[in-house]
Structures are given as structure tokens and as C-alpha cells.
């Protein structure tokens, strides 16, 4: 198995952290996103959507999309469980994970990709060029503010995002928040429960994987 | 268990079709989205994001987000499997499902919510008001065109979206396409493989559930 990664990008970090939590080792290939390697035919054969992460299995099967890579790894390496065991756990974790992906990851990408000069014409990932929409960057900031308000309520009553245990939902939330922190949107002082949880999860060895 | 639904909305249709494929019956409650029932405190207690679908389990646990509802049902009612059995199947199905959600569902919502007069101030679901961005509606149309091109290639070589078997990825793709068809974006004549697959999947009894 090979893991196609890019050290600075948020999406592959989700899988990198998941792999570290599982305690497994996978051969890793860095993809030069800045140089456009993901758009070249050799990479597009692995993933027609031209994104990282990708897991290439030994039989040649390729799995892209961060949550799908995690789903494969969870089934192949069940311990420790990061996506729940009982049906209710699985559903609740998937709910939180999906929600922070929409409200955090998509909003974070809206901010970055619609404002950074180097990403002109690259407002969405993939082979099709899309112009930037500056209003979308502003909307993304408003979405992140709403997300942090919601998360502060949640972390005031729950140790981790989906309940008492660390799960893939915490991975997605941590990396979404770190993604927007790199865009100089720090966790505001009036969100102490988010800060408490962020310190807790950032202290895990997997967070620096 | 109760299923909170809205007959005309695309997201709960994903769960309705999944339930029909599983051959189970769940008490269903219609939520009056047009009248704003989803924003009222009684519903927000079930789902703070104020969206349908929601599954309310007998112990009071609530699961929102369509794919999370499906994840719960898949674990609770494994037969017939709609999300894969082997790790590779699970990963590949999750990849396609996630991709058509982004490229189809999100793009479809971008078109509708940024152009329909009745949705002014409701450019995103949930309790926070967001203004419409007309450029986003135009971008959504371009995304749908790119999606249909990609799907035509895929359905030229694969019976169903994730391979030889009908899965949750077909449910998400069908409902995303029907969502944009209702916005008068029909499947173009030069996408015959999409048409072949659409006819095949639409003929399942679950498609009219």
C-alpha cells in the first residue's frame, strides 16, 4: 500500500493523523501540489479528481477522499476504533465528522481559495478552473465564526466532539480549525471550551504526524 | 425510532431510498420546511443544525446528516449491504459517495439557494442567515456540467457508480442529479451513459419511495 500525501495540505493530514492513531506504517509519497504534479496524467490515473490524499492498495485499487481513506483503514485495521463500534456510535460519529467537514473544511477552503493570489483560477480543487469569488471568502469567515460558537457549546458539555472518546470527528475538527488558524483566524478568547479541547487533541502524538 | 423527513427535499430522500432498499419500516414525521418548522426550538433540540433528515432512536439519540443516518442503518440492518463489505469495497463506495455529494449535492444547492427568490437570506441551510451570491449559482452550473462529463466516462465502463453492485453511492448520485433536473438542468443528449444508468436506477422501487 502507498499513501499519497502533501505535508502542508490539510486534507491528507486527516489521513496521516488517522494512520498514526492506528499505529501502522504505510509507504508515503509526497505530491508536489505547488508544482501542479496532481494535475499531470500519471497522478490523474490514480485519482481523476487530482487531489490528495490517495491510498493505492497492493492490487492497484485507489481510494481518494480523506474520509474514504479513513473508512478503508478502519475496516482493515479495526483497533483502536476511531469510527465507532455500535450502530449508534457509528452514526453519531459520522454525523459530527460530516458536519465539521461542511462547516469547517469547506468554509476554510472558501476563505483560502477565494482570496489567495496564488490560487487565482483555482477556487476549487481539481482539473477544472474556477474563478475566485471574493464574497465567498467573506462568507467563509462568517461560517467559521458560527462553527466556533457551536463547537464552544458542544465542548462545554462533551470531552470530545462525538462523546467521551477521541474519534475521527476530532481529527476532522482539529485539522479544519488548524487550517483556518493558518489563515490568521485564531480561536477567539471567548471560546474557552474550544481552546480546552484544541489543547487536549493537539497534545496527542498523532497531531504532529 | 422516528425518521424526520420532508417529501420534496433531496437530502431526506437519500435516507428514504436507503430505508426502502433495506426493506424496513420506520415511523415517519414530515417537517414543514416551507413554514420554517426546522428553525423552531422543538426541532432544534433534535438537530441544532435545523436540517432534515434526522433519525431519532428509541433512547433519544438523534442522528442528522444523510450519510450518517445511512451509516447507522447500515450497521443496524446489514442486509442487503449498501456500503460495502470488504475494506476495499467500503473505501471505494465511500469515495464515490463523498465525491458525488461534493460535486453534485453541494453544486446543486449552490444553484438553487443562490438564485431562488424564496430562498433570499437562506443561501445555506441552518439557523444563520447568509445572503445569496449570484456568481455561486453560475459556478454551480459549471460544476454540474463537469460532474456529468465525469459520470459519463464512469458509466461507460461501470454498471453502477462504485462497481458491479448498486450502493449508497448510486443513491446520492441519483438524487443529486434529480435535484438539478428539477432546476431544469436535464441530462444532456451527449451523456448517453449517464442516461443509461439514470434509467436503470430510477426503475428501482426505492427510487419512488
List the CATH number of the domain containing A129: 1.20.1050.10
Phi, psi of A4, rounded to the nearest 5 degrees: -90, 120
End position of a domain, from candidates B46, B76, B106: B76
B91/A99 CB distance under 8 A: no
Average pLDDT over residues B192-203: 98
Q: Tens of pLDDT along B28-46?
A: 999 999 899 999 999 999 9
Average pLDDT over residues B118-147: 93
The radius of gyration of chain A's CA atoms, rounded to the nearest angstrom, is 17
For a pLDDT cut of 90, what percent of chain B falls above it? 97
Residue B104 lies in a domain: yes
B63/A91 CB distance under 8 A: yes
CA–CA separation, A88 vs A93, rounded Å? Answer: 8
What is the pLDDT tens value at each position of chain A, 209 positions in all? 999 999 999 999 999 999 999 999 999 999 999 899 999 999 999 999 999 999 999 999 999 999 999 999 999 999 999 999 999 999 999 999 999 999 999 999 999 999 999 999 999 988 889 999 999 999 999 999 999 999 999 999 999 999 999 999 999 999 999 999 999 899 999 999 999 999 999 999 999 99
Residue B82 lies in a domain: no
Q: Tens of pLDDT along B147-174?
A: 999 999 999 999 999 999 999 999 999 9
CA–CA separation, A31 vs B153, rounded Å? Answer: 25
* Residue A181 and residue A105 share a domain: yes
The whole-number pLDDT of residue A128 equals 87
Residue B126 has pLDDT above 90, yes or no: no
The whole-number pLDDT of residue A160 equals 98
In contact, B158 and B166? CB cutoff 8 Å: no
**What band does B90 get if pLDDT is binned at 50, 70 and 90?**
very high
| Terminal-residue alpha carbon distance, chain B | 18
A98/B146 CB distance under 8 A: no
Interface of A with B in 89-148 (CB under 8 A): 90-92, 94-95, 97-99, 106, 123-124, 126, 128, 130-131, 133, 135-136, 139, 142-143, 146
Range of the domain at A95: 87-208
The whole-number pLDDT of residue B159 equals 98
The whole-number pLDDT of residue A194 equals 98
Question: Could you tell me which of A183, A185, A187 has the C-alpha nearest to residue A155?
Answer: A187
B98/A135 CB distance under 8 A: no
CA–CA separation, B65 vs B12, rounded Å? Answer: 9
CA–CA separation, A92 vs B69, rounded Å? Answer: 9
User: With a cut of 0.85, is the ipTM above it?
Assistant: yes
Instruction: Give how far the C-alpha of residue A181 lies from the chain's centroid of Cα atoms, to the nearest Å.
Output: 14
End position of a domain, from candidates A24, A54, A76: A76
User: Which residues have a Cβ under 8 Å from the Cβ of A197 and sit 6 or more positions away?
Assistant: A151, A155, A159, A160, A161, A170
- Hey, how many other C-beta atoms are within 10 angstroms of the C-beta on B136? 21
Question: Could you tell me which of A45, A43, A24 has the C-alpha nearest to residue A35?
Answer: A43
| DSSP bridge partners of A163 | A160
The whole-number pLDDT of residue A126 equals 85
Residue carrying the nine cell digits 455529494: B101
Residue A53 lies in a domain: yes
* Residue B116 and residue B67 share a domain: no
**What band does B145 get if pLDDT is binned at 50, 70 and 90?**
very high
Provide, as residue numbers in chain B, all residues whose Cβ is less than 8 Å from the Cβ of A86: 75
pTM: 0.97
Residue B92 has pLDDT above 90, yes or no: yes
Q: Which CATH number fits the domain that encloses residue B42?
A: 3.40.30.10
- Hey, how many other C-beta atoms are within 10 angstroms of the C-beta on B37? 16
Closest chain B residue to the Cα of A55, Cα to Cα: B91
* Residue B32 and residue B62 share a domain: yes
Mean of the per-residue pLDDT values of chain B: 96
Residue A170 lies in a domain: yes
Is the backbone of residue A6 left (phi > 0), alpha (psi -120 to 50) or beta?
beta
The whole-number pLDDT of residue B127 equals 83
End position of a domain, from candidates B56, B76, B96: B76
Q: How far is CA A40 from CA A27, A50, A64, B43, in A?
A: 21, 8, 16, 48
CA–CA separation, B64 vs B54, rounded Å? Answer: 4
Average pLDDT over residues B45-70: 97
Interface check for B26 against chain A (CB to CB < 8 A): the answer is no
A128/B106 CB distance under 8 A: no
The whole-number pLDDT of residue B128 equals 87
Amino acid at each position: 500500500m502507498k499513501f499519497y500525501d502533501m505535508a502542508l495540505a490539510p486534507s491528507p493530514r486527516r489521513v496521516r493523523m488517522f494512520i498514526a492513531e492506528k499505529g501502522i506504517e504505510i509507504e508515503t509519497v509526497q505530491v508536489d501540489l505547488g508544482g501542479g504534479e496532481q494535475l499531470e496524467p500519471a497522478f490523474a490515473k490514480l485519482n481523476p479528481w487530482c487531489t490528495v490524499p490517495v491510498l493505492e492498495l497492493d492490487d492497484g485499487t485507489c481510494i481518494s477522499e480523506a474520509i474514504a481513506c479513513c473508512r478503508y483503514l478502519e475496516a482493515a485495521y479495526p483497533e483502536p476504533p476511531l469510527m465507532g463500534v455500535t450502530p449508534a456510535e457509528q452514526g453519531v460519529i459520522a454525523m459530527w465528522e460530516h458536519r465539521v467537514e461542511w462547516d469547517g473544511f469547506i468554509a476554510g477552503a472558501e476563505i483560502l481559495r477565494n482570496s489567495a493570489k496564488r490560487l487565482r483560477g483555482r477556487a476549487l480543487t481539481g482539473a477544472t478552473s474556477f474563478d475566485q469569488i471574493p464574497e465567498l471568502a467573506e462568507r467563509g469567515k462568517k461560517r467559521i465564526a458560527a462553527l466556533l460558537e457551536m463547537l464552544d457549546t458542544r465542548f462545554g458539555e462533551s470531552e470530545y466532539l462525538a462523546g467521551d472518546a477521541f474519534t475521527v470527528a476530532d481529527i476532522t475538527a482539529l485539522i479544519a480549525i488548524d487550517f483556518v488558524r493558518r489563515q490568521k483566524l485564531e480561536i477567539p478568547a471567548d471560546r474557552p471550551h474550544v481552546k480546552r479541547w484544541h489543547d487536549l487533541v493537539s497534545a496527542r502524538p498523532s497531531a504532529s504526524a
